[in-house]
Structures are given as structure tokens and as C-alpha cells.
Amino acid sequence: MDKGAIRNLYIRKRRELKREDIRRYSEQITEYLLEFLHENPHLKHIHLFLPIDRFHEVDTYPLFYKLQVQGFHIYTSAVNKEKDNLDTLDITDIREFKSDSWGIPVPVGANPGKPESIQVVLIPLLAYDLRGFRIGYGKGYYDKYLSSLSQEVLKIGISFFSPMDELPKENHDVPLDLCVTPEGRLSF
């Protein structure tokens, strides 16, 4: 199967999930992520994505609010269309989000963040394999972003589903270090 067919398959699988399942699975993923962070107390600078509701993504808002209360430094990214990349935003103290015309959550009042401070990046994905390679929406923003960060940054995918055996891989693809699902954690 090529990347396009795999992408379409997992978009369909996500759409078939009931809202209650998304909420429950997201809660389980949040608990496994918090457990991982508590086992690694030196990790205090976390980059997460904000979920796009219409794409039925893992809901990262409960994680965001728990990280805020627990004193983590929290970052997200916004697409910079002029530079065709992602800009880092510091959302540690953000209390409000609004959706743009595409339904993408935008933190209100966020300041630019320092990518060199990031220790962990939580990565959206559609599918991933047993080697840690992932398929996203096909724009390549996260592969470019991850390539620009320190090699020591932990790359953690989050998914509702189990891994495929092997995905097609391209030279620019950046593998995950870990993936968290409702069933637990998988290291690569």
C-alpha cells in the first residue's frame, strides 16, 4: 500500500470512532503520557499539538491543562505559510484558544517560543510502523520541524491505533522514539 492509500485508510478509521471512544482513548493516552513524564522528571519542556476536532485527533487539551497545573513549560506550533514551516509558540500560561477559519485551534496571546528549550515533542500522526516511522497528513511540516530541533529531543507519537508492520519510508522521514496509544507505550 502506498502512503496515500494508508493515509486514506486511517482517516476513515478515525472518522468511524465515536466521540465517546475518542474521549476515553484520549484520557487513557493522557494518563500514559503523564506516567512517562513522571518517570522522567528531568523532562520539563513539552511541545504538543492542539487537536483539530474535524480530523478526530487525540484530544490533547486535558493533557495541556494537567501539564500547566504541574508546572511544565508547554509549547505548540503554528504554520508559517511564508516560510513553509512551523513556528514555535510558548503556551505555558495560555488560558484561551480560538479556532481559525480551518478549525485549527489558535492560542490567544501566545508568545514566540524557543525551540532549543524543547525536550519532548508530541506528534500527531495517522499511521506508524514498528520501526517508528509515521504517516501524517502529507505536508511534511513535522518532519521539517523535527529535523530543525536538537537530536536529543524525544519524539513521541500519539495514536488511537496499533502500529502497522512497515510503512513506506522516504529519506526526509524522521522516526519516532516512542508512541503512546490507549493500550500503553511502544518504544522504537
Q: What is the CATH number of the domain that holds 142?
A: 3.40.50.10420
* 32/170 Cα distance (integer angstroms): 30
What is the Cα–Cα distance from 3 to 136, expressed in whole angstroms? 9
Q: Is the pLDDT of residue 132 over 90?
A: yes
Residue with cell 512551523: 86
Domain range for 170? 3-187
pLDDT 10s digits, 57-111: 999 999 999 999 999 999 999 988 898 889 999 999 999 999 987 788 999 999 9
Q: What's the CA angle centered on 187, arms 186 and 188, to 5 degrees?
A: 125
CB atoms within 10 A of CB 165: 7
Instruction: Flag whether pLDDT at 125 surpasses 80.
Output: yes
Q: What is the pTM of this model?
A: 0.94
Question: Whats the size of the chain, residue-wise?
Answer: 188
Q: What is the pLDDT of residue 67?
A: 98
pLDDT of residue 141: 87
Pairing of strands 184-187, 178-181: antiparallel
Q: What percent of the chain has pLDDT over 70?
A: 100
Provide the domain count of the chain: 1
Q: Please state the φ and ψ torsions of residue 46, each to the nearest 5 degrees.
A: -115, 130
Q: What is the pLDDT of residue 57?
A: 96
Asked if residues 44 and 75 have their Cβ atoms less than 8 Å apart, the reply is no
Rg (CA), the chain: 16
